[in-house]
Chain A
Amino acid sequence: MLTVPIEIQILFAGILFLLGLIGLLVRRNMIYMLMSIEIMFNSAGLVFVIAANHWKQPDGQVMFIFILAVTAVEVAIGLALLLQVYHHFKTLDADSVNKLKDYN
């Protein structure tokens, strides 16, 4: 079976992580920002799976299951908070939710 070298696999995960980061910085809608964060988490999870496969250990896979659980909780709370944000500010645009500022 043809195997891809580990460097390429890590690079792939790194590109995914960067895509998530770029998405977070470029997008102003907070639902998309949450999605970008998910991509970042999952790319980290992917590296754990790759490493576990490389070292022939189960630890990385275990970590990935923990990551899945944690991100699920995070998204649940994130969406609940977004609902509240929409109730209060009538928008999900990150730039408009900006009442807390210096010097006031």
Chain B
Amino acid sequence: MTVTDFLSLAPLIIIAIAPVVIMIVISVTRNYKVVYGFSILSFLTAFASIFFIVPAIPHSIEPLFVIDIYSLFFLGIIIFSALLVTLLSYDYIKQLDGVREEYYIILFTSTLGASLLAVANHFILFFLGIETLSISLYILIAFQRSKDSSIEAGIKYLILASVSSAFLLFGMALIYTALGTMQFNGIVSALGESGQLSPLVISGFAMIMVGIGFKLALVPFHMWTPDVYQGAPAPVTAYIATVSKGAVMAVLIRFFFNIRGFDNRSLLIVISGIAILSMFIGNLLAIRQKNIKRLLAYSSIANMGYLIIILLTGTNKGIQASVFYLISYIITTIGAFGVITLLSTCKYEAEKIEDYKGLFWKRPWVAIVFTLSLLSLAGIPLTAGFVAKFYLIFEGMKAGLMVLIISMIINSVIGLYYYLRVITAMFSPANETELPAISLTGNITLCLITISILILGVYPGWLIDIIMKFVNL
């Protein structure tokens, strides 16, 4: 590897070094504030380093990495959302007894796995990235080990995620057997030579879809989502819902477009079916939930259903719409889980809808942020969610995906019902429950999220311009 190779991997290297430094610091002395400050600083440095390597791209390190503007964009999204989750975690993790500093180490390793997915151009990196991400997540989910629910969620995720990884791996192995290459861009040329898809390749793609579908929580591989969302500590739930999904989406879009999956009719039919099922099942099951974390879990299933529509358009414009949707989804979801995190303590998770009764009269500012996040998830105008949905529907219509777009619109209406249920609870008369105080970092993060939701909702043009100019595959 040359110096340029190392320089172009700067964000990944920073994220890889940071946990080692934290480990050394912990072995000398345990100081929560120092570790926290260092984590924020490292994420900021990694984020800033992305802008410095822009002149060096597109650059590919054969055969594993490809660093183009697309991967840098997703690296930015991943690192920024990890930064937001870190900012939110301060109080929640501080209250835990026993080990606390290790949380940030594992947050870094999982972000490293997610970042690997954004630059992956090879099955080896695809597999390593997904495994680094999910193995770190097992620990994060079970981090509150004094709680039954945390441990249960951890072991459930461990078993189901490893099975899905085994499927993914077997699928990769079959494709490698049939085509003799593991590089994404090599696959399409190898496919082109043989013309007709052999049964090995088809079953390989099917098994890869199972693995990816599980990580994105698409129906019928969604069973783990509500349990894990409920059992995991609130900041970790925010992390799973945003960073892990965003990273898998990054690799899915690159893989799908590299193998030109949209040219294959049967693959398109399968993906349409998965998308429609995810939307309907996610939204319908969310209606009766009394637990907000479960409600948001089902809503995330539906949201991923909306998002994979874009794979079917097979155009650059489609990718741009999905990137915009992903950004707005991530900001909004971190906002919603951020409020849950800030209102929870390690003793008591504020996860029932009753816990939010009269929130507006007790903590008006937090209630407004939560309302805004939920409205954005529902896609109400003047929020980021509306513009994102509009953009997605617009691109879908241009590609002629009428059935998918109509079911997306029906589902937006169903979604509105359960989001509004939470909002009405917040504005109903207050009851007598104590709420924890909210720290400065928490308030700053909520402020950041509110501003971004509103700016993207009212004046989205600049971001769309940036995306259109840079995100091309």
Contacts and interface: CB of A to CB of B under 8 A. Distances in A.
A66 B159 contact: no
A20 B169 CA distance: 14
B127 A70 contact: yes
B233 to A, nearest CB: 14
B219 to A, nearest CB: 15
Given A37-B162, A66-B128, A85-B155, A99 B148 contact: yes
Nearest to A100: B227
Interface in B375-391: none
Nearest to B165: A41
Contacts of A99: 148-149, 152
A45 B173 CA distance: 8
Given A10-B200, A54-B177, A70-B128, A85 B170 contact: no
Instruction: Describe A's contact surface by its main secondary structure.
Output: helix
Interface residues of A, number: 48
Chain B interface category by residue count? 35 or more
Nearest to A52: B176
A103 B288 contact: yes
A63 B177 contact: no
A22 B167 CA distance: 14
A82 B177 CA distance: 35
Contacts, number: 129
A43 to B, nearest CB: 7
Instruction: Describe B's contact surface by its main secondary structure.
Output: helix
Contacts of B169: 41, 44-45, 67
Contact of B176 (A37, A60, A70): A60
Contacts of A102: 226, 285, 288-289, 294
B123 A100 contact: no
B180 A37 contact: no
A103 B182 contact: no
Contact of B123 (A21, A63, A77, A85): A63
Interface in B242-293: 285, 288-291
B343 interface: no
Contact of B124 (A62, A74, A88, A104): A62
Interface stretch (B49-57, B131-139, B403-411, B413-421): B131-139
A81 interface: yes
A6 interface: yes
B76 interface: no
B155 A82 contact: yes
A65 to B, nearest CB: 10
B163 A40 contact: yes
B159 A74 contact: no
Contacts of A63: 123-124, 127, 176, 182
A73 interface: yes
B120 to A, nearest CB: 13
A66 to B, nearest CB: 6
Interface string B112-126: 000000000001100
Interface string A67-104: 10010011001100110110011000010011110111
Contacts of B148: 88-89, 99
A10 B289 contact: no
B363 interface: no
Given A100-B156, A102-B294, 9 more contacts: A40-B163, A44-B169, A45-B173, A51-B176, A51-B177, A55-B180, A62-B124, A82-B155, A88-B148
